[in-house]
Amino acid sequence: ELEPVKLAGTTVTYATLHNADFIEKLGVRVGSRVKVSKRGEIIPAVEEVVDPGRGRPFKFPTACPSCDSPLKRADDAVDWMCLNALCPEKMQNAISFFAGRKQMDINGMGEKVCRILYEHGYVKDIADIYELHKHKSDLENMEGFGQKSVQILLAGIEESKKRPFRFVLPSLGLREVGHSVTEILIQSGYDNMDALLKLARSKNATEQLTAMDGIGPRTAEAFVEQLRNPAVLKIIERLRRAGLQMAAEKKPGHDAAPADQIFAGQTWCVTGSFESFKPRDLAMDEIKARGGKTVGSVSSRTTHLLAGESAGSKLDKARELGVQVVSEVEFKRLLNTGN
């Protein structure tokens, strides 16, 4: 939090400090005087410390503020994680994440509702969401709910069963398995849950995964570890029985003329935020519809980076490797003109 300052036409009171490593490297303390910019003319960010001040250096907590369990992070990661699988805050966040707009998009199930349902014991894990219809009468009589809101909620839950598999897998909240990795798996032929579980059980699973462009060793190891976890498998089976989509839609061949396959033979990574592609999966769909391939990270095999606002480290990596960087304006021109 900052003392209010005018910046690019607005009053700024908060700016991003990214993570604990960044704070330590920058030397930010309470009371420090800092230089702030607006990256992409949108996001306020602390760029450097002008005067450290006399405050104590920041010390990152070593225990979870929710359950007091130890915090841990991988050697090459910046995020600290609570090791307690039953941590209340983790469970609530997992439920809220699953129901969110970019995941299963369950109407009537925002963060506040998720918290109430968790605290009252109706939803302790994501699979419990699909058991809520059994408690319809109880919910209607709960404070903060009513017949109409419960009707909307249950209808939203039922509608979410139609959500395509490319949303179901990342909604599970598995570490390292987000939308980009899901797309890579589907494009590589692992387009259903049974195929993914079989892959995770195979002896050379990590080798098969790292052979896919865009999947590295850390992602491969996390994928195998989690899809061999009995607790995760139990949740998946309950979701299957509830009627969620466990296989990607079989799309008919693209009927565009060969001339429209302008991205054929190209490998694109998409990063940042965009005005015309919200969520950015829409930009990835445009690339794939025109013959291109999308990956979740920049490597020597990446041919193009579509960079939106706050592109971050992927943009730096692309420049370092000489990968062609394309702006949103340039990308829209390519879609409209084909060259």
pLDDT at 21: 82
pLDDT at 254: 45
pLDDT at 252: 47
**Whole-number mean pLDDT of the chain?**
90
Full-model pTM? 0.69
pLDDT, mean of each 10-residue run, the chain (339 residues): 87 86 87 86 85 86 93 78 87 96 94 95 97 97 92 97 95 92 91 97 96 91 95 96 92 51 92 87 87 89 93 91 95 85
**167 in Cβ contact with 214 (< 8 Å):** no
State pLDDT tens for residues 211-228: 998 899 999 999 999 999
User: What domains sit in the chain, N to C, each tagged with a CATH number?
Assistant: 5-51 (2.40.50.140), 88-160 (1.10.150.20), 165-242 (1.10.150.20), 258-337 (3.40.50.10190)
pLDDT at 204: 96
Q: Strand runs (DSSP E) across the chain, as ranges?
A: 5-7, 10-12, 33-39, 43-51, 71-72, 81-82, 267-271, 293-295, 304-307, 324-326
Q: How many CB atoms lie within 10 A of CB 169?
A: 26
Helix orientation angle between 230-242 and 217-227, rounded to the nearest 10 degrees: 70
pLDDT at 251: 55
pLDDT at 76: 67
pLDDT at 40: 67
Identify residue 247 by its one-letter amino acid code.
A
State pLDDT tens for residues 57-78: 888 888 999 999 999 886 667 7
**83 in Cβ contact with 63 (< 8 Å):** no
